[in-house]
Structure 1
Amino acid sequence: MTVEELDAPAAEAALPELAEILHGCVHGGASVGFILPFAPEDSAHWWRAKVLPAVAEGERRLLVARRAGRILGTAQLDLGTPPNQRHRAEVCKVLVHPDTRRQGLGRTLMAAVEPLARAEGRSLLTLDTVAGSAAQPLYESLGYVLVGVLPGWARAAREDRLEGTAIMYKRLG
């Protein structure tokens, strides 16, 4: 497995694979900002409208994990902070295709995010994840600290119920 950073043109070229991962994650129940129904076109539109412009502007860094040339996971580092918060960044949209979960891709992507953050002068990383999800213990094992849980934060992707979100942080040494 390899991890690489994509610039905006490379992300545009990889759009079909990126859209497939997001679509698969949402349909697999991931609460990453979308609810069903969620069509493949919705996924492609989100990447094109929200992620690619931020990558092109340098406000977001996009990592992908590949195995045998195929993109199986992604992670993003959001650098678009106000001037008084340039010491921090948000880790977001850590997505691993449902068919390849529990194989270390999420851990590998998270390990690759930290050097990017340091290179950008960031000393504090934040993230949020569904409270009690399989991702929460992964983040804790990587040194992220739970600040607290906000109940009823977002609607579940596949059900009409609200889920809490766990707010976490990590100081980079």
Structure 2
Amino acid sequence: MDSACLDSGQRGGESGAAAVTVRVLSSTEAHAAVPGLTDVLLDCVAGGASVSFMAPLDRATAEGFWSQVVAGVEQGERILLVAEDGEGVLGTVQLVVGQPPNQPHRADLSKMLVHRRARRRGVGAALMQAAEEAGRAAGKTLLVLDTASPEAERLYERAGWVKVGVIPNYALWPKGGFCDTTYFYKALG
């Protein structure tokens, strides 16, 4: 599962909340962001999100995952975006742009993660919009994703993504037990 831990509400921010910025990271910036990205991943797994890891997730394993992502950024296979506020990284999403030769027009949206401290501030919607813009800039015309989160499904549908279908018992929740996954796509105009 790649898209299960995210902002479930898009209410335009809370009173007094710090401004949130979303940006694409260079490989150098991605290296520097690993501690903050690790914190977000640990929080999402601890919160029960099905994002490929089982609980309890240790810091070394999470850092190892982000090191692999950074290597993908360095190789031009991934685009890594972060959402930040005055306290640091609070969300992230990736576009896997390195696809097989017969799919150069497509990218996978992966690991949409928003720290629980940042929920209901529009972070998920901002990350989605920025990911779509990054996909267009990379020459992609089709994005696909999967999610185990009903909250994520609502966000994707509001953003114009098309629900394709549900696969039952696709993966496990972090503490065990099967979860379904739902696939979506979006054609970029």
Mark yes or no: TM-score above 0.5.
Answer: yes
- Is 1:142 paired with 2:159? yes
The CA RMSD measured in Å over matched residues stands at: 1.0
- Match of residue 90 from structure 1: 108
Structure 1 residue matching 2:52: 3-state secondary structure? coil
Structure 2 residue matching 1:117: 3-state secondary structure? helix
1:15 CA drift (Å): 1.1
1:60 CA drift (Å): 0.2
- Match of residue 8 from structure 2: none
1:12 CA drift (Å): 1.1
AA matched with 1:103: R
- Match of residue 24 from structure 1: 43
- Match of residue 180 from structure 2: 164
Structure 1 residue matching 2:90: 3-state secondary structure? strand
- Match of residue 151 from structure 1: 168
The gaps in structure 2 that reach 5 residues or longer are 1-19
Structure 1 residue matching 2:102: 3-state secondary structure? helix
Which residue, 65, 71, 74 being the options, matches 1:56? 74
- Match of residue 120 from structure 2: 102
Q: Deviations for 1:82-113, whole angstroms, at most 9, x for unmatched residues?
A: 11101110111111001111111010000001
- Is 1:79 paired with 2:117? no
| Percent identical residues | 45
The gaps in structure 1 that reach 5 residues or longer are none
Q: Aligned partners of 2:120 and 2:87: how far apart in 1? A: 19
Greater RCO (CA < 8 Å, at least 6 residues apart): 2
Which residue, 78, 100, 112 being the options, matches 2:130? 112
Q: Deviations for 1:115-141, whole angstroms, at most 9, x for unmatched residues?
A: 1111111111100000x5211110011
AA matched with 1:123: T
Q: TM-score, normalised by structure 2?
A: 0.87
1:69 CA drift (Å): 5.5
Which residue, 21, 40, 53 being the options, matches 1:34? 53
Q: TM-score, normalised by structure 1?
A: 0.95
Q: Aligned partners of 2:46 and 2:126: how far apart in 1? A: 23
Q: Deviations for 1:25-76, whole angstroms, at most 9, x for unmatched residues?
A: 000111100011211121111101x201100001100000111251110010
1:14 CA drift (Å): 1.4
Q: Aligned partners of 1:45 and 1:140: how far apart in 2? A: 32
Structure 1 residue matching 2:150: 3-state secondary structure? coil
1:147 CA drift (Å): 0.5
Q: Aligned partners of 2:97 and 2:112: how far apart in 1? A: 15
